[in-house]
Amino acid sequence: MADVAKEAGVSHQTVSRVLNDHPNVRADTRARVEAAITRLGYRRNLVARALVTKRSRTLGVVSFDTTLYGPASTVYGIEQAARDAGYFVSIVSLKSIDAGSVRDAIDYLAEQGVDGVVVVAPQRSAARALESLPSGMPAVAVEGTYHRAGVSVVCIDQAEGARLATRHLLELGHETVWHVSGPVDWLETEGRLEGWRAALEEAGRPVPEPLAGDWSPRAGYEAGRSLAAMEGVTAVFAANDQMALGVLRALSEAGVRVPEQISVVGFDDIPESEFFSPPLTTVRQDFDVVGRHCIEVLLRQIEPGAVPGPRPAGTGPGSTGPGSAGSVRAGHERLIVPPGFMVRSSTAPFPGRHAGR
């Protein structure tokens, strides 16, 4: 910084103000300092800065299986929101999700001196690991509905998303809705099962036995083959878009027309879903909103008073749903982001029993 100050003909303090984007620097002075920085190839020493400020300006993120759309999109949303807030992100992606591996990942990030951690906790085993967070470590659990004193949560309302999907199909005149569920131990699986079952029970409709899946197109394909062989199936809600894709393939191979004979709804609104054949009606999760709220919640712990408290979050373009709920109790928060619903060509009113089947 002394070299930059000498090159630009300003004080060391002025260079510091430019680097910290202080408003009380004249435009011509700022330009001269920035030019000197470019000529000299100056880079901040973040380690030295952290020793002075006691802050690393780095956040840790623990996630699992970022090949899946939900966790990958959540991590991306968190990373972008952190950068917008002036923080770097250190990510640990786990191969297996259990209390031990999550604790090891958090300990690793704590040793790096991160200012706080985000745990993308879609499974109960990951959520339970939050019980052993280092004392005083700012933390947020994302995607899971798990909640205990001292751990803030930001999540999408999975149950409401499943209700939107199921009610949509019932309003189209279908007697009931079959469900292809996600894998056990996943909190999203539980929430989507809960919302699907509640919507059917509230409408006084029969609740079929769910078909077990694992988020993969292959699981959806196998479930779709079973559904195609059953009598009376007119509507299917798959717990994610990848399984819905498998269902569509199996129904097509069996000669079942979608949506003329069976309507299909997915969950996630992955970028490819509007290009399925037919384009998929699906529940939309706004991961940008999740990422933004997650960082806001975490920074309220790291920098008390510097970030506004909970406020309603809008939904994304083309989506519907109630405003998000926020609460603050005993120093921790719970923010629920509402799902959206995208109606496309894979659903339609069912005119009668399976004509031609």
- Amino acid present at 102: V
Which of the residues in the chain have pLDDT under 50? 50-51, 53, 312-330, 353-357
Per-residue pLDDT at 185? 83
At residue 322, the pLDDT reads 37
Angle between the 158-171 and 187-202 helix axes, to the nearest 10 degrees?
40
Domain 2-44 and domain 55-143+287-338, same fold? Reply is: no
pLDDT recorded at residue 44: 65
3-class SS string, the chain: CHHHHHHHCCCHHHHHHHHCCCCCCCHHHHHHHHHHHHHHCCCCCHHHHHHHHCCCCEEEEEEECCCCHHHHHHHHHHHHHHHHCCCEEEEEEECCCCHHHHHHHHHHHHHCCCCEEEEECCEHHHHHHHHHCCCCCCEEEECCCCCECCEEEEEECHHHHHHHHHHHHHHCCCCCCEEEECCCCEHHHHHHHHHHHHHHHHCCCCCCCCEECCCCHHHHHHHHHHHHCCCCCCEEEECCHHHHHHHHHHHHHCCCCCCCCCEEEEEECCCCHHHCCCCCEEEECCHHHHHHHHHHHHHHHHCCCCCCCCCCCCCCCCCCCCCCEEEEECCEEEEEECCEEECCCCCCCCCCCCCCC
For the domain 2-44, what is the CATH superfamily, name and number?
lambda repressor-like DNA-binding domains (1.10.260.40)
pLDDT at 227: 98
pLDDT of residue 127: 67
CATH class of the region 55-143+287-338: alpha beta
Q: How far apart are CA 171 and CA 264, in angstroms?
A: 14
What is each CA distance from 94 to 37, 86, 266, in whole angstroms? 39, 26, 27
Question: Is this prediction's pTM over 0.75?
Answer: yes
Q: Packing angle between helix 287-302 and helix 69-84, nearest 10 degrees?
A: 50
Which residues lie below 8 Å from residue 221, measured CB to CB, with a gap of 6+?
A: 246, 247, 249, 250
| Superfamily of 158-284 according to CATH | Response regulator (3.40.50.2300)
- The separation between CA 283 and the C-alpha centre of its own chain, rounded to angstroms, equals 13
> How many other C-beta atoms are found inside a 10 Å radius of the C-beta of residue 98?
15
Structure tokens given for 127: 């959520």
Separation of CA 291 from chain center: 7
Residue 50, pLDDT score: 47
Q: What pLDDT is recorded for position 308?
A: 66
pLDDT tens digits for 234-248?
Answer: 999 999 999 999 999
pLDDT at 343: 98
Task: Work out the number of other CB atoms within 10 angstroms of the CB of residue 296.
Answer: 21
List the beta bridge partners of residue 264.
236
Domain boundaries, the chain: 2-44, 55-143+287-338, 158-284
Q: How far apart are CA 176 and CA 210, in angstroms?
A: 12
